[in-house]
Amino acid sequence: MKRILIVGNWKMNLTIHEASLLVKRLSDHIPVHRDIEVVLAPSMLALQPISREIDQRKFHLAAQNAYYKDEGAYTGEVSFTMLRGIADYVLVGHSERRIYFNESLDTICNKVQAAIRNDITPILCIGENKHERESGETKRVLHDQLTTAIANLTEDEVERVVIAYEPVWAISTFGNGIPAKPDEIHAAIKWIRSILGDLYGEQMATDMRVIYGASVDTEFVPSILGLEGIDGLLPGAASLNYAKFAGIVEAAYKMLHSGQKS
């Protein structure tokens, strides 16, 4: 069985000191779980100092972004090469990067390649917005975002990618604040794995890790993680609250050991 992956995206929040305090509280409240992998994604400024203080038995780190060139005259950017040895994961294609910073399909493809090239696991975020969903374009959007992002990878490289389904319409920042229903999430996850199956075969489609992220909170954990084909969660705001985030991890552990996980 694949380990459950819980990734806390702190976004543009917390000073270095505040981030350090949150790590301390999380460490106090989250025990080591062999079958759950907990990943923290602090701001870029806090990433390096936190890498020196985390308990690596409990936590791995993810960068929230990076630039796809390994080096050069790109003022203000941080490359994937610079993140080697600091971050094990990186978020790529997050809805906020697509919407606020106009990241194109080509840019996201380049970032996925750069992550793999630098031995950092990309967490590829894909998802449709409200208009696309209401227009019946969900399948097309997911297909296009997924296939273009991994187009230049070998089959072995694709297998290292984590896919995060985050329906934009279900995110409180962009949507109507109404969480996605389990059957809606399951249908999208099933479609994503179907795309992978058509491209790489059923075994690889089954083996790849696919997680869910859109307004994730403690009470939704059993209903989401209990769905077939979901390997983890990508909470945002809830990950800034140590009690909520620890609760998400604990709920995942209880669900896993109660036999509810398919």
Q: What is the pLDDT of residue 261?
A: 57
Query: At residue 260, does pLDDT exceed 70?
Result: no
What is the per-residue pLDDT across 143-171, written as a single tens digit (0 to 9) for each?
999 999 999 999 999 999 999 999 999 98
Q: What is the pLDDT of residue 233?
A: 97
Q: What is the pLDDT of residue 171?
A: 84
Average pLDDT over residues 175-202: 92
What is the per-residue pLDDT across 167-185, written as a single tens digit (0 to 9) for each?
999 987 775 667 899 999 9
Per-residue DSSP letters for the chain? -PPEEEEEE--S---HHHHHHHHHHHHHH----TTEEEEEE--HHHHHHHHTTS-TTTEEEEES--BSSSSSS-TT--BHHHHTTT-SEEEES-HHHHHHS---HHHHHHHHHHHHHTT-EEEEEE---HHHHHTT-HHHHHHHHHHHHTTTS-HHHHTT-EEEE--GGGSTTTS-SPPPPHHHHHHHHHHHHHHHHHHH-HHHHHHS-EEE-SS--GGGHHHHHTSTT--EE--SGGGGSHHHHHHHHHHHHHHHHTT---
Average pLDDT over residues 125-140: 96
**Which domains does the chain carry?**
4-257 (3.20.20.70)
Query: At residue 1, does pLDDT exceed 80?
Result: no
Q: Is 131 an active-site residue?
A: no
The pTM of the full predicted model, rounded to 2 decimals, is 0.96
Q: What is the pLDDT of residue 242?
A: 97
> Could you say which of 37, 103, 128, 166 is catalytic?
166
Q: What is the pLDDT of residue 172?
A: 72
Share of the chain above pLDDT 90, in %: 90
What is the per-residue pLDDT across 84-95, written as a single tens digit (0 to 9) for each?
999 999 999 999
> Could you say which of 33, 60, 94, 186 is catalytic?
94
Q: Is 143 an active-site residue?
A: no
Average pLDDT over residues 88-108: 97
